[in-house]
Amino acid sequence: MDKGPGDEHRLEESMVTDFKKDVSYGDYLHLNQILSSQHRLSGHHDEMLFIIIHQTSELWMKLILHELTAATDHIVAGHLEPSFKMLSRVARIQQQLVQSWNVLSTLTPSDYMEFRDKLGNSSGFQSFQNRLIEFAMGQKNLQILAVFRHQPELYESMMAALNKPSIYDAAIGALAARGLSIDQSVLNRDWSVIYQENASVESAWLTVYRDVNNYWDLYELAEKLVDIGSQQQFWRFNHMSTVERIIGNKKGTGGSSGVSYLKKVVEQPFFPELWTLRTKL
């Protein structure tokens, strides 16, 4: 039988179209709430870009925290292999976040000035999820919690995260569990302070890299950490570059020095021994 006009656009008979008693795509994803959460405070066209970039980034950050938490738990339990897929996923998500700065960079300085005053003192500096990611990766900072004191429940949860071992602390514990010598001062340190390089940790990682066949899982873990550490640095650098392109040397909306502050952040590495050992291999 010949097809009539529009036949190619007809739904297949098996397709469900009645969702009075079933969950639809929009219901499952709560799209009404998500897509109605963009509230411009100005009439400027590009404020929508600014809002959506940051909201989308926060969703990706939520997934990063989901994966980092599970990966850390697996490493602490001595199950390294399940963590590898999770850390690979984190690196892919980070690439998405890095690319988001390229989209935001289409916002010109004059466009941004049209609505910047509407932001008040709000700033990406206050992203609690970004802080939790940094904590999870070992960049601990008690002072940063001051900006969350107006939200007691959030403040308490962030304080708890500050006092938990990072994924790097968990990895160092895995080195010790395999019989590699790690100073007790590292294994029993105050988790709330930023990690400092240690010669015993560097020596242990060197042993792993020089005997990959016997320590393949630890070697794979190290390289996964290098991946997420370098991607986080790319994100930081692109953040700094985008801010510099849009506001130059102006102060940040949250009161920071802006680009000068972000440049200092870029200089703070993750997992230090995994970088310094490369000159000794």
Give which of 120, 228, 110 is closest to 171, Cα–Cα. 228
Does 54 carry a binding-site annotation? yes
The CB-side HSE value for 137 (13 A sphere, CA atoms) comes to 27
Which residue, chain included where needed, has tokens 């509230």?
A: 39
Q: How confident is the model at residue 241 (pLDDT cuts 50, 70, 90)?
A: confident
- For residues 46 and 38, give the distance between their C-alpha atoms in angstroms, rounded to a whole number: 12
Q: What is the DSSP string of 21-82?
A: SS--HHHHHTHHHHHT----SSS-TTHHHHHHHHHHHHHHHHHHHHHHHHHHHHHHTT-HHH
Render pLDDT for 171-180 as a digit per residue (tens, 0 to 9). 999 999 999 9
Does 112 carry a binding-site annotation? yes
Does 167 carry a binding-site annotation? no
Quote the distance between the C-alpha of residue 98 and its chain's center: 10
Does 56 carry a binding-site annotation? no
Does 51 carry a binding-site annotation? yes
Does 53 carry a binding-site annotation? yes
Q: What is the pLDDT of residue 1?
A: 47
Burial label, 18 (beta-carbon count in 10 A; 0-12, 13-18, 19+): exposed
Does 245 carry a binding-site annotation? no
Does 108 carry a binding-site annotation? no
Lowest mean pLDDT among 123-127, 185-189, 198-202, 259-263: 259-263
- For residues 148 and 197, give the distance between their C-alpha atoms in angstroms, rounded to a whole number: 29
Q: What is the pTM of this model?
A: 0.91
Does 72 carry a binding-site annotation? no
**Length of the chain measured in residues:** 281
Render pLDDT for 167-209 as a digit per residue (tens, 0 to 9). 999 999 999 999 999 999 999 999 999 999 999 999 999 999 9
